[in-house]
C-alpha cells in the first residue's frame, strides 16, 4: 500500500518523431535551472495572438437549445472508440486513463469537451507550470497553440482530433503533476481523497469547461511540504530575477571580530537571500565580522546543515557559493520526489536522511520530531517505505556478517577478550552452540560467516534500550544508541545504515498513543525490567525514509541540506556555483584600518 509504484510518466519524456497526439505533451520536463535563468518562464503567459478568450460556441448552442454539431460528434466517437485509434491512445496514456477519457466523452455525448475558455486556461496552466517545479519547452506551447487553433478553426475532422489531443495532453500533464497515473486510471498522489477513474473523468470535464488549473491541483501531492516548496520556488525565482548573488573568494578562516577584505561580499551574499540587513553597519567596520553578522551567519549555517559557529570556513563558503539556479534545481527536485512519494497515510513516521530528522505525523499535523543519526556514505541508509510492526525493549544485537567482518574481526584478532568486555556472545551457526571467543580462529576469513556474534542487552548495547522494527529487505530499523553525544553534531552520518533516534522512548510512546494495544506504562515497565522483550503493534504505522535535500519549516523558511551521499539520480544543477564576487567601484582596500585577522 505504501510502496512507490512504477507509473506511466515515462511516456511523458518520449522523444523523436511523434504523432500529433504524442506531440501534445512532449517537452513537459522536470524543471532545470537553465530554463529559469534564461527567464523563459517569467510572467503570465496569455493565449496566442488573435485568440482572445470568448464564450465557446458549443456552450452558447447549449444555452440556446440548438442541436450539437453531428459531424464533429461522429468524428470524436470514432476517435475514442475505434479499435486502432483507441489502441494508439491507450499506448499514450495507459489503459485506465484511456477508460477515463472514453467515459468523459460518453458523458458529453461525444461532443467536444474543450471550450475556448477551457483551452486557453489549459494553455496558461501549462505555461505556468514552473510554479509546480516543472517547465515546458517552446515546442509544447507551439503544439498547444496549433491544437487550440485547430479545435476552433478547422473542419470537423481536424477539430475532433484536436479536441481529443487536448484531452490526452491534459491527462499526460495530470500524470506528471501527480507523479503518475496507475493502470486503474487513479492518480497515485491524492490531495484530499483517493482519486479514482470517475474523478479523473470529472477532472477532464472540469478542465475542458475552463477550470484546468484547479483540476490539476486536485492531483498534486497532499503533503504540506509540497505546498511550502511551491512558495519557496516562487521566492527563489524572485531572487534569481533580481540577479542572484555573487560567490565569495576562498581564503583563511574568519572568526567573529576579525577583519577580512571578503566580509563586504559576505554581507551582500547574506542580504541577497534575506539573512542580513544592509545599511546598518558604519562604513569603517564593513570589513569586520561583527556580532550581528556572526548571528546572521549562524542562522544561515543552521538552515544549511552546518555547525552554527559563525565562522567563515570552507564548508560554509561552499554553501554560500551555491548559485540560486542550483537551489531552484534542488527545490524542483524536492517537489518531484514528493510527487513520487505517494500517499503516506493519515498517521505515519517520516524519516528524512539529509536533514537527520524523524517526525511523527497525524491528520496533517506534526506531533513529534527529533534528531537522527543515519548511515555513513559507505553504509547508506536506504530509501523505502514500510510499516512499524513491533517494538523491542532491551534488545539484543545480532551483529550483521558485514559489520562483523569489517569491524569486529579486527578487534577480536587483536584480543578475543573484547567479546566479554563488550557483552558479546559467540555462537556456532551450524550447531547453535555457544563457543568461547578464545577458541575461534578469528584470522580465518570465513569466521564471520561461521560464527554469529550477539551483544546482550545493557547500557553499552549498540541498539541502546529500545528498537522499533519494520521488517524489510535491508535489515534497517530505528533504535536507541549509547553514543548520545553524536546528536550534537550537525552532520550525523555515523551509523551502518540503521536510523538512530535521539529520543526513541518518546517515539515509542507516540506510537503507543495512536495504538490501543500499547501503553506508556507497558513500555516503561518492560524497559525497567532490563529483560529483552518485544511488543506487537496492533495497527501498523507507515514509516517512510526519504532523501530530500530541501525542506521548509513551519515559518516558511527553506532549509538546504547537504547531499551527504552525493546522489546522482536527482536533478543536477545546471550552474552549481555562483559567479565570483566583483567589488564595487570603491576599492575595499581604501577602507580605514588594516585587514589582518587581528580579532
What pLDDT sits at residue 440? Answer: 94
Burial of 405 (0-12, 13-18, 19+ CB in 10 A): middle
Report residue 121: phi and psi, to 5°. -65, -35
Flag the least confident range among 181-190, 333-342, 565-574: 181-190
Q: How far is CA 504 from CA 358, 386, 396, in A?
A: 10, 18, 16
Q: Per-residue pLDDT averaged across 189-201, rounded?
A: 58
Quick count: other Cβ atoms within 10 Å of Cβ 1? Answer: 9
- 466 membership: H or E segment, kind and range: strand 466-469
- What range defines the domain where residue 250 resides? 231-325+569-590
What pLDDT sits at residue 84? Answer: 66
3-state class (DSSP) for residue 479 = strand
Asked if 120 and 209 sit in the same domain, the reply is yes
Query: What stretches of 60-145 adopt beta strand conformation (E)?
Result: 134-136
Helices 156-178 + 138-153 axis angle, to 10: 140
Higher local confidence (pLDDT), 11 or 164: 164
DSSP letter, residue 590: G
CB contact set of 298 (below 8 Å; sequence gap of 6+): 308, 309, 310
Q: Are 352 and 548 in contact (CB under 8 A)?
A: yes
What pLDDT sits at residue 27? Answer: 33
Higher local confidence (pLDDT), 63 or 70: 70
Asked if 21 and 159 sit in the same domain, the reply is yes
Asked if 532 and 480 sit in the same domain, the reply is yes
Under the banding of pLDDT at 50, 70 and 90, the label for residue 515 is: low
Flag the least confident range among 110-114, 134-138, 207-211: 134-138
Q: Per-residue pLDDT averaged across 96-116, rounded?
A: 90
What pLDDT sits at residue 253? Answer: 96
The CATH number of whichever domain residue 242 belongs to comes to 1.10.101.10
What pLDDT sits at residue 80? Answer: 86
**In the beta sheet, which residues pair with residue 371?**
357
Q: Which of 158, 194, 162, 198 is CA-nearest to residue 178?
A: 194
What pLDDT sits at residue 281? Answer: 72
436 is a domain residue: yes
Under the banding of pLDDT at 50, 70 and 90, the label for residue 65 is: very low
What pLDDT sits at residue 589? Answer: 31
Asked if 271 and 403 sit in the same domain, the reply is no
What pLDDT sits at residue 297? Answer: 98
pLDDT at 591 over 80: no
Asked if 181 and 248 sit in the same domain, the reply is no
**In the beta sheet, which residues pair with residue 24?**
none
pLDDT at 160 over 80: yes
CA distance 341 to 329: 18
Q: Which of 501, 549, 573, 579 is CA-nearest to residue 303?
A: 549
pLDDT at 191 over 60: no
What pLDDT sits at residue 526? Answer: 83
514 is a domain residue: yes
pLDDT at 242 over 60: yes
pLDDT at 120 over 70: yes
Asked if 451 and 468 sit in the same domain, the reply is no
Q: Are 384 and 545 in contact (CB under 8 A)?
A: yes
User: How remote is the C-alpha of 48 from its chain's centroid?
Assistant: 35
Flag the least confident range among 42-56, 208-222, 577-591: 42-56
The CATH number of whichever domain residue 515 belongs to comes to 2.40.440.10
338 is a domain residue: no
Asked if 150 and 37 sit in the same domain, the reply is yes
pLDDT at 385 over 50: yes
Pairing of strands 558-560, 550-552: antiparallel
Q: Are 476 and 499 in contact (CB under 8 A)?
A: yes
What pLDDT sits at residue 529? Answer: 84
CB contact set of 349 (below 8 Å; sequence gap of 6+): 358, 359, 360, 361, 388, 507, 541, 542, 543, 544
**In the beta sheet, which residues pair with residue 425?**
454
Q: Are 215 and 321 in contact (CB under 8 A)?
A: no
Asked if 497 and 379 sit in the same domain, the reply is yes
Output the pTM of the full model: 0.80
CA distance 460 to 465: 9
Q: How far is CA 405 from CA 375, 493, 496, in A?
A: 17, 20, 13
285 is a domain residue: yes
CB contact set of 524 (below 8 Å; sequence gap of 6+): none
Q: Per-residue pLDDT averaged across 140-165, rounded?
A: 89
335 is a domain residue: no
Helices 520-529 + 504-513 axis angle, to 10: 140
Q: Are 477 and 294 in contact (CB under 8 A)?
A: no
341 is a domain residue: no
3-state class (DSSP) for residue 315 = helix
What pLDDT sits at residue 583? Answer: 56
Last residue of a domain, one of 220, 244, 273: 220
Terminal CA-CA length for the chain: 59
Residue in the structure block whose three cell numbers are 497526439: 21
Q: CA angle, corner 112, sides to 108 and 115, nearest 5?
A: 110
Flag the least confident range among 195-199, 363-367, 390-394, 398-402: 195-199
Residues 359-363: contacts with CB within 8 Å, 24+ apart? 360/507, 360/510, 360/511, 362/514
What pLDDT sits at residue 284? Answer: 66
pLDDT at 192 over 60: no
CA quadruple 362, 364, 365, 366: dihedral, nearest 10: 70
pLDDT at 9 over 70: no
Q: Are 369 and 525 in contact (CB under 8 A)?
A: no
Q: Are 561 and 546 in contact (CB under 8 A)?
A: no
User: What's the whole-number average pLDDT of the chain?
Assistant: 81
Asked if 427 and 471 sit in the same domain, the reply is no
pLDDT at 327 over 60: yes
Asked if 86 and 196 sit in the same domain, the reply is yes
What pLDDT sits at residue 186? Answer: 46
Just list the catalytic residues. Answer: 479, 498
CA distance 563 to 399: 28
CA distance 192 to 338: 15
Read off the pLDDT of residues 256-304 as tens digits, 9 standing for 90 and up. Answer: 999 999 999 999 999 999 999 887 777 668 899 999 999 999 999 999 9
Last residue of a domain, one of 413, 429, 455: 455
Asked if 301 and 412 sit in the same domain, the reply is no
Last residue of a domain, one of 427, 455, 483: 455
Q: Per-residue pLDDT averaged across 4-12, rounded?
A: 27
Quick count: other Cβ atoms within 10 Å of Cβ 58? Answer: 22
pLDDT at 410 over 60: yes
Read off the pLDDT of residues 439-476 as tens digits, 9 standing for 90 and up. Answer: 999 999 899 999 999 999 988 889 999 999 999 999 89
Asked if 120 and 203 sit in the same domain, the reply is yes
Total domain count, the chain: 4
What pLDDT sits at residue 139? Answer: 66
CA distance 565 to 567: 5
What pLDDT sits at residue 384? Answer: 94
3-state class (DSSP) for residue 80 = helix
What pLDDT sits at residue 36? Answer: 35
Q: Are 353 and 381 in contact (CB under 8 A)?
A: yes
Higher local confidence (pLDDT), 589 or 549: 549
Amino acid at each position: 500500500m505504501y510502496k512507490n509504484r512504477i507509473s506511466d510518466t515515462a511516456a511523458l519524456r518520449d522523444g523523436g518523431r511523434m504523432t500529433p497526439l504524442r506531440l501534445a505533451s512532449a517537452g513537459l520536463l522536470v524543471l532545470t535551472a537553465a530554463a529559469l535563468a534564461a527567464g523563459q518562464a517569467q510572467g503570465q503567459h496569455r493565449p496566442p495572438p488573435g485568440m482572445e478568450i470568448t464564450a465557446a460556441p458549443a456552450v452558447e448552442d447549449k444555452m440556446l437549445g440548438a442541436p450539437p454539431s453531428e459531424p464533429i460528434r461522429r468524428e470524436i466517437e470514432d476517435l475514442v472508440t475505434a479499435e486502432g485509434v483507441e489502441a494508439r491512445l491507450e499506448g499514450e496514456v495507459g489503459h485506465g486513463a484511456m477508460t477515463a477519457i472514453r467515459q468523459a466523452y460518453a458523458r458529453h455525448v461525444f461532443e467536444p469537451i474543450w471550450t475556448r475558455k477551457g483551452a486557453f486556461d489549459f494553455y496558461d496552466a501549462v505555461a505556468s507550470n514552473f510554479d509546480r517545479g516543472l517547465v515546458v519547452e517552446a515546442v509544447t506551447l507551439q503544439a498547444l497553440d496549433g491544437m487550440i487553433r485547430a479545435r476552433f478553426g478547422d473542419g470537423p475532422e481536424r477539430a475532433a482530433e484536436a479536441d481529443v489531443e487536448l484531452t490526452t495532453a491534459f491527462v499526460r500533464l495530470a500524470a506528471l503533476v501527480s507523479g503518475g497515473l496507475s493502470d486503474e486510471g487513479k492518480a497515485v498522489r491524492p490531495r484530499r481523497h483517493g482519486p479514482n477513474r470517475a474523478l479523473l473523468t470529472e477532472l477532464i470535464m472540469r478542465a475542458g469547461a475552463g477550470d484546468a488549473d484547479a483540476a490539476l491541483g486536485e492531483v498534486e501531492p497532499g503533503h504540506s511540504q509540497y505546498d511550502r516548496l511551491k512558495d519557496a520556488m516562487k521566492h527563489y525565482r524572485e531572487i534569481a530575477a533580481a540577479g542572484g548573488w555573487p560567490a565569495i573568494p576562498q581564503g583563511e578562516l574568519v572568526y567573529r571580530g576579525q577583519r577580512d577584505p571578503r566580509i563586504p561580499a559576505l554581507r551582500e551574499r547574506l542580504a541577497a537571500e534575506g539573512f542580513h540587513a544592509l545599511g546598518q553597519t558604519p562604513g569603517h567596520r564593513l570589513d569586520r565580522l561583527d556580532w550581528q553578522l556572526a548571528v546572521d551567519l549562524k542562522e544561515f549555517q543552521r538552515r544549511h546543515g552546518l555547525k552554527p559557529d559563525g565562522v567563515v570556513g570552507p564548508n560554509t563558503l561552499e554553501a554560500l557559493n551555491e548559485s540560486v539556479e542550483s537551489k531552484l534545481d534542488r527545490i524542483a527536485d524536492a517537489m518531484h520526489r514528493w510527487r513520487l512519494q505517494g500517499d503516506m497515510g493519515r498517521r505515519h513516521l517520516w524519516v528524512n536522511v539529509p536533514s537527520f530528522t524523524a517526525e511523527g505525523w497525524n491528520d496533517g499535523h506534526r506531533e513529534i520530531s527529533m534528531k537522527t543519526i543515519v548511515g555513513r556514505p559507505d553504509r547508506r541508509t536506504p530509501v523505502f517505505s514500510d510499516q512499524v510492526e513491533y517494538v523491542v525493549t532491551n534488545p539484543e544485537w545480532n551483529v550483521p556478517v558485514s559489520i562483523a567482518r569489517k569491524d569486529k574481526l579486527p578487534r577480536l584478532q587483536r584480543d578475543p577478550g573484547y567479546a566479554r568486555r563488550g557483552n558479546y556472545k559467540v555462537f556456532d551457526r551450524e550447531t547453535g552452540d555457544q563457543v568461547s571467543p578464545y577458541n575461534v580462529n578469528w584470522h580465518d576469513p570465513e569466521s564471520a560467516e561461521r560464527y554469529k556474534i550477539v551483544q546482550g542487552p545493557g547500557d553499552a548495547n549498540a541498539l541502546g534500550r529500545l528498537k522499533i522494527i519494520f521488517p524489510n529487505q535491508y535489515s534497517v530499523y530505528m533504535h536507541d544508541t549509547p553514543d548520545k553525544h553524536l546528536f550534537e553534531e550537525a552532520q550525523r552520518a555515523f551509523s551502518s545504515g540503521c536510523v538512530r533516534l535521539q529520543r526513541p522512548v518518546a517515539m515509542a510512546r507516540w506510537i503507543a498513543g495512536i495504538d490501543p494495544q500499547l501503553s506508556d506504562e507497558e513500555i516503561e515497565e518492560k524497559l525497567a525490567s532490563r529483560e529483552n522483550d518485544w511488543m506487537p503493534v496492533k495497527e501498523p504505522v507507515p514509516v517512510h525514509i526519504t532523501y530530500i535535500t530541501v525542506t521548509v519549516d513551519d515559518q516558511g523558511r527553506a532549509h538546504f541540506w547537504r547531499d551527504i551521499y552525493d546522489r546522482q539520480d536527482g536533478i543536477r544543477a545546471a550552474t552549481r556555483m555562483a559567479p565570483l564576487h566583483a567589488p564595487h567601484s570603491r576599492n575595499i582596500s581604501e577602507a580605514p584600518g588594516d585587514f589582518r585577522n587581528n580579532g
